[in-house]
Chains A and B, each alone.
Chain A
Amino acid sequence: MCPHCGTLAWGAVDLSGRGTVYSFAVLHHPQNPQFDYPVIAALVELDEGIRLVTNLVELLPDEVEIGLPVEVCFEPTADGMAVPVFRPRVLERRQ
């Protein structure tokens, strides 16, 4: 149920896929065989105001910083699905 208006209805909303890094952690230990380490975990705040747990890709661990502008891309999972992960925005990457 929506805690703001009480509705039980739901719908899908298109998001821009753009946001900024709110926080992050470079995970070293323990290591789960399903992931490549170090894992760059992050909280990304989308432009629409939603915060989500995700991974950062296409950059090195020491390049991560809070406030970094990022955009979504999708990574396949073992069961044939995909999850949203984020990479530095193209404009910023060209600089």
Chain B
Amino acid sequence: MSRPSFAGSTAIIGIGQTEFSKDAARSELQLACESITAALADAGLQPSDVDGLVSYTIDPVEETELVRSVGFPQINYSSRVPYGGGGAMGVLLHAASAVASGAAEVVVAYRAIRARSGATRFGGAKTTPSPTSGHSGTTAMQWCMPFGVLTPAAWMALNSTRYMHTFGVSSEDFGRAVVQLRAYASTNPAAWGFDRPITLDDHQASRWIAQPCIRMFDCCQETDGSVAVVVASGELARDTAQPPVLIAAAGGAGLFEQEIASDHYRPDLSVMEGSVALAKLLFGRFGIDRGDIDAAMIYDAFSPILLMQLEGLGFCERGEAKHFIADGNLGLDGALPCNTNGGLIGEGYIHGLNLVLEAVRQLRGTAVNQVVDPDAVLVSASRTGAILTRP
């Protein structure tokens, strides 16, 4: 297959966010308005410059409300990405495809969430479908609920225990990743974990959520907030306020019998096969060398899936992530600085999209924990991902 036309011809030209808190005390609609306004200001654009909108199927902010509130005169393209957080980076694929095809000129991708103060806490029991779509790809969850397997942690724990068993991974191995993420967060003023680093002992003392794999400190933050990114053509990007960040690759891979968080039916649950397929797509079809990736932002809703994605994406061999991490490779001096904002565990959980903002900051050279002159940053949410580059 040939390389999609958006590769390298489209760019992220603006980013914006609200504060990340445990109680935003305002609606998701207002949060989205604020992050989008900030992203447009960052790009030096007006609402009238925007003609496309992309979000997640489970985002509660309706397009009609958003258009009326922000004051977009005419939206010519709008779409939503399925698969929950696994679809996070899919918004870049949709936005870039729309721009490259000419269906839209400037697309805003957004996510607004009240994962702590809203009606359904992220970590709480799921007993009803999400607001904007019937099931949001959660059909398989009905087979979990009669058995008390009601939360994202519980769903993913079943995969994580198998991973630990197959490769002899311990809770301490997950803890070493968390300590690194919390170290990054501790210097990031926007992060929930700002000024709150932890030790491995702290991690091991945190209570069990799902034994033997997920302790409280292995979980991402339940966060209120919103982030937005502005996508346009690389040509238009040259005239905007910020140094452009190109979308060099973007894609998503859904596999037969793969579910979302309750993904229990693929043959071997000790490997994250969505990541394997994604890596094949990003490094194969787009002709990018894995060795050229200078940093990675990887969806860490729970620490075990960070290790599983590192292996699935091919940054280390199967079962080797624990050594890769223990050797310090996720740090700024390591082979693959990772989640330098603190990740979803340390900064906050805007359903993964805040990782894209950190990738953009790294490539602009404005990150708090800055990698030295990165040229290419990978963002991944298990089954969807993208590679962002400097021109």
Chain A residues proximal to chain B, CB less than 8 Å: 3, 22-30, 32, 34-35, 38-39, 41-43, 51-55, 61, 66, 77, 83, 85
Contacts and interface: CB of A to CB of B under 8 A. Distances in A.
B80 interface: no
Given A23-B165, A27-B210, A41-B149, A53 B158 contact: yes
B307 to A, nearest CB: 16
Given A22-B162, A32-B125, A39-B148, A27 B157 contact: yes
Contacts of A52: 143
Nearest to B265: A51
A80 B124 CA distance: 26
B157 A25 contact: yes
Given A30-B125, A52-B143, A41 B213 contact: no
B269 to A, nearest CB: 6
A55 B264 contact: no
Contact of B210 (A28, A35, A55): A28
Contacts of B158: 23-25, 41-43, 53
A1 B143 CA distance: 19
B141 to A, nearest CB: 9
Contacts of A51: 264-265
Contact of B213 (A25, A29, A42, A53): A25
A39 B125 CA distance: 14
Given A23-B165, A25-B157, A26-B211, 7 more contacts: A3-B256, A23-B162, A25-B161, A30-B124, A42-B158, A43-B158, A61-B211
Task: State which size class the interface on B falls in.
Answer: 20 to 34
Nearest to B163: A23
Given A41-B157, A43-B158, A43-B264, A26 B147 contact: no
Interface of B: 123-125, 143-144, 146-151, 154, 157-162, 165, 207-214, 216, 256, 262, 264-265, 269
B209 A29 contact: yes
Nearest to A35: B148
A54 B154 CA distance: 12
Contacts of B147: 39, 41, 53-55, 83, 85
Nearest to A50: B265
Contacts of B144: 53
A10 B262 CA distance: 25
Contacts of B256: 3
